[in-house]
Amino acid sequence: MSVVFAIVLAMLSVAGLLTVTWILRGPSTLDRIAALDMFVVVVVAAVAVYAAIYADGSNIPLLAAVALVGFVGSATAARLAERWERHR
């Protein structure tokens, strides 16, 4: 089973690196906001894999909190960016 965890963590690492690249090179503000939301999803998935590896359920509230903060932050940033684009 540890081989599966290693493969999943490697794939999450690649996804994280690609997402950071997208954040840095995104052509627009909304692209960067979407990339940040995707980065939050990758972090939540990595913490979930950590919880599965160590059979530790104490991280589940952390998963819920990070996912909620990521969703609210992305929705708020997208709304502000849309408002800012409209007033340009």
Per-residue confidence (pLDDT) for residue 30, from 0 to 100:
81
Find out whether 42 and 12 touch, Cβ atoms under 8 Å.
yes
Per-residue confidence (pLDDT) for residue 19, from 0 to 100:
95
pLDDT mean for each 10 residues of the chain (88 residues): 90 96 88 89 91 87 89 86 78
Per-residue confidence (pLDDT) for residue 58, from 0 to 100:
87
Q: Which residues of 1-26 are buried (b: 16+ CB within 10 A; e: fewer)?
A: eeeeeeebeeebeebbeebeebbeee
Of the candidates 77, 72, 76, the residue with the CA atom closest to the CA atom of residue 32: 77
**Cα–Cα distance for residue pair 85/59, rounded to 1 Å:** 38
Per-residue confidence (pLDDT) for residue 13, from 0 to 100:
96
